[in-house]
Amino acid sequence: MPAAAEPVLALYAALEQGDLGERLDDCLHPEVTWRSSPTMPWGAAVEGRTGPDAVRRYLTMIGEQLDARVEIDDVIETEDRVVTLGVISGTARSTGAPFHAPFAHVWTVTDGKIVDHRGFPDTAAVMGALAGKS
């Protein structure tokens, strides 16, 4: 597998282990930009912010609201771009309602570090679980 996917897959592994510290930092460029759907409760928290600390705050907010697991179905990569397709599933912590949300993540990698992330989740599935609908 070409090198572009390495930091992306390492980031998913760090998240799986709950490591939002050094392992996360190892994957991210100091000026990483992270974008997600602004319709999600945590989406606006990261808009317009850069850097590993902004990403860490964003991921922490998600973890406070969702007990989730990411399953990667496909990895498509070019020299500096990676697209991951998969499913985020779990439950909303506040309601206990389950969700199953397909997603596409688009990553840009430079010099072995993630410099940009754009997330496209099935927001309806997650918002439904947060509202107590399964």
% of the chain beyond a pLDDT of 90: 69
Structure confidence at residue 37 (pLDDT): 80
Alpha helices in 19-107 (DSSP H): 22-27, 52-65
- The range of the structural domain enclosing residue 100 comes to 5-130
- The pLDDT-based confidence of 48 (bands split at 50, 70, 90) is low
The encoded tokens of residue 44 equal 């606006």
Residue 107's CATH number: 3.10.450.50
pTM value? 0.90
All residues at 6 or more sequence positions from 84 whose CB lies less than 8 Å from its CB, including other chains: 8, 12, 72, 74, 75, 76, 104, 105, 107
Cα–Cα dist 30/95, whole Å: 36
